[in-house]
Amino acid sequence: MHIEVECHSADSGESIPRRFFLGKHPVEVTEVIDRWLGSDHRYFKVQGDDGAIYLLRHDTIEWAWNLTMFARSPVWNADAADRSTRH
């Protein structure tokens, strides 16, 4: 899934995701959990402000971003389920 990503520069000059958009919905990156370099992509495992974990892939040749994995936090799901039963 192609996504739009806003980055900031690390001290090393590397672009680090700080916000991305799922459609028109912005997700703030609260933590970069891990990052690594593949043969022609850079990968960032990040936590969003929604509590979910995302794996973002940056194509360094095409300069395009993709969402390659998404996992909701179990705590977030429990909170969401609790809120949906209250009216």
Instruction: Give residue for tokens 């994995």.
Output: 69
By the 8 A CB rule, do 33 and 42 touch?
no
Q: Compute the average pLDDT of residues 18-26.
A: 94
Burial of 20 (0-12, 13-18, 19+ CB in 10 A): buried
pLDDT at 13 over 70: yes
Buried b (16+ CB within 10 A) or exposed e, 21-38: ebeeeebebeeeeebeee
| Each residue's pLDDT tens digit, 30-72 | 999 999 998 889 999 999 999 999 999 999 888 899 999 989 8
- pLDDT in the model for residue 84: 41
Alpha carbon distance 87, 84 (integer Å): 7
Name the strand (E) or helix (H) holding 85: helix 74-85
- pLDDT in the model for residue 86: 42
- pLDDT in the model for residue 10: 77
pLDDT at 83 over 60: no
| More reliable by pLDDT, 10 or 32 | 32
